[in-house]
C-alpha cells in the first residue's frame, strides 16, 4: 500500500506497464469513461441542444477553471478552461503587452517550450510595431529584467531538465521593473504546489492533459489576476467571451473578469472527461503530492546512479530546484528509451540526448521506480539498446 493507493485505483494502468510519462500524457482515470458515456448518451443524446442549459454545458469552462484554480493558488472566478495552450499563450502575451504601452520587449528563456516562443514571436511579427522577443539562458532571466521589458513570459518547469524557476522571486523582479509576468504552468499544475495569488502573478496558463490527466487534446486553462481582469482586452475576442453572447450585438464588449478570455464553443465531451479526471485531486493537498514526488525522484536518481555510470543527470540535483521529472543524458538516449518502452517501461525522449521520466504520486509507486531504474541500467550495461528497431525515429518521440 502506498500513501495514495486509493487514488492509484482511480486510474486505468495497463498491466505490464510501468508508466513514467504522465508529464506528457496522464493515464486515463477510470471514471472518465462513464463520464464521457453519460455526457454523450444522457446529455447530448437525450437533451440535444437543451444540454447547454439543462446540463449547464455553458458554464463548464468556469467551473473547471475553479477546480484547477484550487490546485494552483488561484481564487475562485479567476481561471477559465478552453482552447489549446498555444492559443492561451498568445492571448496572455497579447493582453499583457497592451497593458504596458511603450515597452517593446517580451523576455523569455531558451528552456521554454518552443510553441510558447513561436506563438509570442508570431504575435509580435503581426503587430509589426518594433517589438522584440528576447530569449536568454534560464539563469540569466532575472538579470535581463529591466525597464525595457513589457512582459516576462516563462515556463516554471523546464520540459527537458525539470529545472524549476523561482516564481516568487522572478515575479517580484518583474513587478519592480514595471513589467508584467506570465507563467506557463504546463509542467506545474497537478505536479507541485503553486501559489498564483501569493506571488501576484499577472497571467498564468497551462495544459490539462499532462499532470491533470484530462486526456489527449484536453483544453488548456488561463488565469488572470483578478484586479487586472476587467482591464484586459482579450485579443482573441470570440463571441463566448462577450458580455452577452446571445444578444448577438455586432460590436464586441468583453465579458466580466476572466470570462472574457473564453473564445468559442467549449469541447463539452473533452471537458466532461477533464471534470472526471480532476476528481483524483479532490481532498488532496498539493504539498503531500510534492513530498511524495520528491521521494520518488530521489529514489530514481539514487538507483540509476548506483546501477549505471554511463548516464549523466540532466536535472538539478537539488530536489527543491526540480519539478516532478528526472532527466538523464545518454548519447543513444533515443534507442535506450525505445528499448525501455519495449520492456514496458514508458518514459520519453527529448532531443538531442535526454531521457525523461515523470513521477506522479497519485499512481506511481516506489516499485515503479525500482523497476524502471533496474531496466534502464540493464539496457545500458548489456547494450540492449543497440538494435536497429530501436534506432528508427517515430513522428512523436
Ligand atoms: C506541453 C506544452 C505545450 C503544448 O501546447 P499545446 O498547444 O497544448 O499543444 C505548450 N507549452 C508548454 C510549456 C508545454 O509544456
Instruction: Give nearest CA residue, ligand 1 atom 2.
Output: 186
Phi and psi based region of residue 151 (left: phi greater than 0; alpha: psi -120 to 50; beta: remaining): beta
Give the position of cell 442549459. 53
From the candidates 11, 19, 90, 113, give the one annotated as an active-site residue: 113
The angle that helices 366-382 and 286-307 make with each other, rounded to 10 degrees, is 30
Cell representation of residue 304: 540509476
Hey, how many other C-beta atoms are within 10 angstroms of the C-beta on 356? 25
Hey, how many other C-beta atoms are within 10 angstroms of the C-beta on 306? 10
Query: Which numbered atom of ligand 1 lies nearest the CA of 116?
Result: 11
Whether ligand 1 lies within 6 angstroms of the CB of 148 is answered as no
Least Cα distance to 61 among 82, 90, 88, 84 occurs for 82
Residue of 24, 86, 219 with the most ligand 1 atoms within 8 Å of its CB, for mutation? 86
User: From first to last of its 397 residues, what are the pLDDT tens digits of the chain?
Assistant: 567 989 999 999 999 999 999 999 999 999 999 999 999 999 999 999 999 999 999 999 999 999 999 999 999 999 999 999 999 999 999 999 999 999 999 999 999 999 999 999 999 999 999 999 999 999 999 999 999 999 999 999 999 999 999 999 999 999 999 999 999 999 999 999 999 999 999 999 999 999 999 999 999 999 999 999 999 999 999 999 999 999 999 999 999 999 999 999 999 999 999 999 999 999 999 999 999 999 999 999 999 999 999 999 999 999 999 999 999 999 999 999 999 999 999 999 999 999 999 999 999 999 999 999 999 999 999 999 999 999 998 888 8
Whether ligand 1 lies within 6 angstroms of the CB of 118 is answered as no
Q: Which overall architecture, per CATH, does domain 5-30+285-391 show?
A: Alpha-Beta Complex (3.90)
Outline where 230-345 has alpha helix (H). 268-278, 286-307, 333-342
Q: Rounded to two decimals, what is the model's pTM?
A: 0.97
Residue intervals in the chain for CATH 3.40.640.10: 56-281
In DSSP terms, which residues pair with 357 in a beta bridge?
326
Whether ligand 1 lies within 6 angstroms of the CB of 186 is answered as yes
Residue intervals in the chain for CATH 3.90.1150.10: 5-30+285-391
Query: Which numbered atom of ligand 1 lies nearest the CA of 88?
Result: 7
Are the C-beta atoms of 81 and 68 separated by less than 8 Å? yes
Whether ligand 1 lies within 6 angstroms of the CB of 212 is answered as no
- Strand pairing category for 79-81 and 221-224: antiparallel
Per DSSP, which regions of the chain are E strands?
11-12, 18-19, 28-29, 79-81, 105-109, 132-136, 149-155, 180-184, 203-206, 221-224, 312-313, 325-329, 345-346, 348-350, 354-358
Q: Indicate the CATH number of 56-281 among 3.30.43.10, 3.40.640.10, 3.40.1790.10, 3.40.1350.10.
A: 3.40.640.10
Amino acid at each position: 500500500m502506498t500513501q495514495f493507493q486509493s487514488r492509484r485505483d482511480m486510474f486505468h494502468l495497463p498491466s505490464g506497464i510501468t508508466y513514467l510519462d504522465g508529464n506528457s500524457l496522464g493515464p486515463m482515470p477510470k471514471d472518465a469513461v462513464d463520464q464521457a458515456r453519460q455526457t454523450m448518451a444522457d446529455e447530448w443524446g437525450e437533451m440535444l441542444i437543451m444540454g447547454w442549459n439543462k446540463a449547464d454545458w455553458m458554464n463548464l469552462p468556469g467551473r473547471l477553471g475553479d477546480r484547477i484554480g484550487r490546485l494552483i493558488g488561484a481564487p475562485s472566478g479567476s481561471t477559465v478552461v478552453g482552447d489549446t495552450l498555444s492559443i492561451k499563450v498568445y492571448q496572455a502575451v497579447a493582453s499583457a503587452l497592451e497593458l504596458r504601452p511603450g515597452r517593446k520587449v517580451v523576455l523569455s528563456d531558451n528552456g521554454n517550450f518552443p510553441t510558447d516562443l513561436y506563438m509570442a514571436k508570431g504575435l509580435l511579427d503581426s503587430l509589426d510595431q518594433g517589438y522584440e522577443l528576447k530569449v536568454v539562458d534560464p539563469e540569466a532571466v532575472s538579470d535581463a529584467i529591466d525597464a525595457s521589458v513589457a512582459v516576462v513570459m516563462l515556463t516554471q518547469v523546464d520540459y527537458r531538465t525539470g529545472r524549476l524557476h523561482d516564481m516568487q522571486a522572478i515575479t517580484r523582479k518583474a513587478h519592480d521593473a514595471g513589467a508584467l509576468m506570465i507563467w506557463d504552468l504546463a509542467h506545474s499544475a497537478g505536479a507541485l504546489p503553486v501559489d498564483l495569488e501569493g506571488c501576484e502573478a499577472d497571467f498564468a496558463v497551462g495544459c490539462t492533459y499532462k499532470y491533470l490527466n484530462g486526456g489527449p487534446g484536453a483544453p488548456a486553462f488561463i488565469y488572470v489576476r483578478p484586479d487586472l481582469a476587467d482591464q484586459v482586452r482579450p485579443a482573441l475576442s470570440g463571441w463566448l467571451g462577450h458580455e452577452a453572447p446571445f444578444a448577438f450585438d455586432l460590436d464586441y464588449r468583453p465579458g466580466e473578469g476572466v470570462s472574457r478570455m473564453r473564445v468559442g464553443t467549449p469541447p463539452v465531451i473533452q471537458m466532461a472527461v477533464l471534470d472526471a479526471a480532476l476528481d483524483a485531486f479532490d481532498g488532496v493537498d498539493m504539498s503531500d503530492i510534492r513530498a511524495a514526488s520528491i521521494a520518488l525522484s530521489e529514489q530514481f536518481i539514487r538507483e540509476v546512479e548506483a546501477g549505471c555510470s554511463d548516464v549523466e543527470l540532466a536535472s538539478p540535483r537539488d530536489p527543491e530546484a526540480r519539478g516532478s521529472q528526472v532527466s538523464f543524458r545518454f548519447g543513444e538516449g533515443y534507442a535506450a528509451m525505445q528499448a525501455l518502452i519495449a520492456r514496458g517501461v514508458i518514459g520519453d525522449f527529448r532531443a538531442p540526448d535526454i531521457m525523461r521520466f515523470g513521477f506522479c504520486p497519485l499512481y506511481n509507486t516506489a516499485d515503479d521506480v525500482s523497476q524502471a531504474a533496474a531496466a534502464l541500467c540493464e539496457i545500458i550495461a548489456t547494450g540492449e539498446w543497440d538494435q536497429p528497431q530501436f534506432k528508427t525515429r517515430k513522428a512523436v518521440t
